[in-house]
């Protein structure tokens, strides 16, 4: 009789317990990436063989491969072209409230990659990693 009672109590505890995934034992929940516009599709963490790029709504941070140093730029969307899947950004750094190191950079989305026409470096191909927007 005592063994049967222990089994019933153990089963009741298991039935009433939340699933392991709800307790953090499963994979982390990820919010689907919003690709409704190119400006939204660029948001998140991208990786190339040269660096990691983190795009937030108004800032872009770069961490060069093999380095802990991060360079952060502000940016503004200059234009979006859905037909060519190209996004042109004006990027800059702020020094004493003034924009410096101003560049215009074109990014083109191709399949799962983001191709950057970089400052004299030719093309840099970035692959989407996750939704992280800051290093």
Give the β-pairing of 122-130 and 44-47.
antiparallel
CATH 2.60.40 for the 38-130 domain, yes or no: no
H, E, C per residue of 43-72: CEEEECCCEEEEECCCEEEEEECCCCCEEE
Give the C-alpha separation, 27 to 96, whole Å.
Answer: 44
pLDDT in tens, 54-98: 999 999 999 988 889 999 999 999 999 999 999 999 999 989 889
Kindly report whether the global pTM for this prediction surpasses the value 0.75: no
Give percent above pLDDT 70 in the chain.
74
């Amino acid at each position: 009789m005592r063994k049967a009672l222990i089994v019933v109590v153990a089963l009741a505890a298991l039935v009433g317990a939340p699933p392991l995934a709800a307790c953090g034992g499963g994979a982390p929940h990820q919010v689907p990436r919003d690709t409704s516009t190119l400006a939204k599709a660029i948001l998140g963490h991208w990786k190339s063989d040269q660096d990691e790029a983190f795009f937030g709504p108004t800032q872009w941070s770069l961490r060069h491969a093999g380095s802990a140093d991060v360079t952060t730029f502000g940016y503004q969307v200059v234009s979006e072209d859905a037909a060519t899947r190209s996004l042109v950004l004006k990027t800059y750094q702020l020094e004493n409230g003034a924009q410096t190191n101003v560049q215009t950079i074109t990014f083109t989305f191709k399949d799962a990659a983001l191709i950057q026409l970089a400052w004299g470096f030719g093309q840099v191909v970035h692959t989407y990693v996750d939704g992280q927007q800051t290093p």
